Amino acid sequence: MPEKIRDSAILNPAAGAAEGMTEFRRQEALLKTGALQNAILNSANFSIIATDEKGIIQLFNIGAERMLGYLAAEVVNKINPSDIHDPQEVMARAQALSKELATPITPGFEALAYKASRGIEDSYDLTYICKDGSRFPAIVSITALRDDYGDIIGYLLIGADNSVRKQVEAELTNAKAAAEKANLAKSDFLSSMSHELRSPLNAILGFAQLMESGSPLPTPAQKASIDQILQGGWYLLELINEILDLALIESGKLSLSLEPMSLPEVLLDCQAMIEPQAQKSGIRMSFPRFEIPYFVKADRTRVKQVLINLLSNAIKYNRAGGTVEVTCSANTAERIRISVQDTGEGLSPEKLAQLFQPFNRLGQDASVEEGTGIGLVVSKRLVELMEGEIGVESTVGVGSVFWIELNLAAEPKPAAGAAESLAPMQARVAHDTALRTLLYVEDNRANMQLVEQLIARRPDMRLLSAGDGARGIALARLHKPEVILMDINLPGISGIQALKILRADPATAHIPVLAISANAMPHDIKKGLEAGFFRYLTKPIRVNEFMEALDTALELAETELDGAINPGGL
């Protein structure tokens, strides 16, 4: 027992006992601290390296020996940590510092310890080089050690083997690459499948439309059969489109153009498209009248797709003589809600829970109403991609309200010169113009016959045909047609390659070229328009759309011809 404590214990036994206990606890704490320090320094799981202020190693623990294969005696007072790290990484660190400081930094320990010297603890992904020359990735934390006056007396480097994390990262990278490759293969397959399905559908629907409007008109029995062909064909096309849309969305390949668009205009378009279906089903429809011209930030085509899907469902699953009411409400300054309310049977909570599942028609499979069970799933994904929200409220025996919410946007300013650019397109083709020539480049005989019969109804036109791109280019140069229709997948050169050749030739560069192809994926259409096609029509052909596009191309051709004859407008 220390003399002071012994004397105190003689004079005051109780106080002496207390002092003795305090001293005992202090000694015990010191022992624990020492044990912890020894445990840390002797840890085999972490490399602990301490250097002096010049960066020369002064401490090299058991973990460092185990990881790097050196004995402490081999490195202490002999090397600095730069010597056991990848020199290229140290060089890269020095170059980064030089750029940051606009001052040359010598590669070495200074480059590693720069932030630590300024009181910033830093961690690096570094590669350790072992005594036997092998390497492994490590995470190294560097801290500056200071004396009581704040001066740096050394640096502490604590490292951990990072091999497992790096291996996991590599596996994740490989898995991601494999997934991207699979997605690309899936996208290619979908594009090919779309083309192969649309080509025969083009013949089925095209000739059925010709028969429906032919002369003489079909008999009632023939008309009923044609209607069944058209109904089944358009339904199959809808199914193809929805499956492709869903696959594109889930693979992240669907691109949207989010920009301010007029909500009243879109609803007016939807009303015009959906009212014939409602009248046929005996459903009364109500659309809102807008006092404020609301604009939303969305993709116009996809908003119409979603709304038509909701409106079509509200009609199909309504009761006889029912109603569909469309309303809009801006409940906040940021969003507007569009609601579609029907008077159908309504949905139970159990059916509501299954509503947005692919191919789930909620027990309507035996219904007379056709449906894919995909439309609502696609609509939900599209609305979410447009940063909106979709929902439903339903009461059995009363009906359902499906709604979407979209972000409001400011009204866009009209682009300068927009009116001038549209002016040449507004004049209609004169009825007394000379016979005009249309060249169709197509290798599918059924598709060629369909267009031949369509053009046969146009006494103002004659049709030339070519079965491949090379012959199409030759005919274009020889006959200078007013308009060219071009398939994309042609034997020999593709339609896009043929277009480039026509554009490069001054004799044919002015001719409007319309793509008409079964390649109907969004990226196919975008690629075609970027290549320079005047319009991109997809198969199956819709006769009215085809005729409208042809008239528009003829107007453009006439305008450009007038410009060539009278370049100054004289």
> 182 or 269: whose pLDDT is higher?
269
Q: Residues of the chain with pLDDT > 90: what percent?
A: 36
Q: Give yes or no for residue 228 having a pLDDT over 80.
A: yes
Q: Which residues, in sequence order, are bridge partners of residue 465?
A: 440
Architecture of the structural domain at 42-161: 2-Layer Sandwich (3.30)
pLDDT value of residue 365: 45
Evaluate whether 181-250 and 259-409 have a shared fold. Answer: no
Cβ neighbour number for residue 105 with a 10 Å cutoff: 17
Return all residues near 240 (Cβ < 8 A) that are at least 6 apart. 194, 197, 198, 201
> 182 or 438: whose pLDDT is higher?
438
Dist CA 446 CA 204 (whole Å): 10
| Range of lowest pLDDT (195-204, 208-217, 288-297) | 195-204
Q: Give yes or no for residue 398 having a pLDDT over 60.
A: yes
Res. 21 pLDDT band, cuts 50 70 90: low
Architecture of the structural domain at 259-409: 2-Layer Sandwich (3.30)
DSSP H helices, 107-162, are 109-117
Architecture of the structural domain at 181-250: Orthogonal Bundle (1.10)
Domain positions in the chain are 42-161, 181-250, 259-409, 418-565
DSSP structure string for 17-49: HHHHHHHHHHHHHHHHHHHHHHHHHT-SSSEEE
Q: Which three-class secondary structure state does DSSP give residue 57? A: strand
Cβ neighbour number for residue 83 with a 10 Å cutoff: 15
Q: Write down the pTM of the prediction.
A: 0.47
From the candidate CATH numbers 3.40.50.300, 3.40.50.2300, 2.130.10.10, 3.20.20.20, the one assigned to the domain spanning 418-565: 3.40.50.2300
The first and second tokens of residue 68, run together, are: 């790097």
Q: Give yes or no for residue 570 having a pLDDT over 80.
A: no
Q: Rg (Cα) of the chain, in Å, rounded?
A: 39
Q: Give yes or no for residue 428 having a pLDDT over 50.
A: no
What does the pLDDT look like over 506-533, one tens digit per residue? 999 999 999 998 888 888 889 999 999 9
Dist CA 239 CA 245 (whole Å): 10
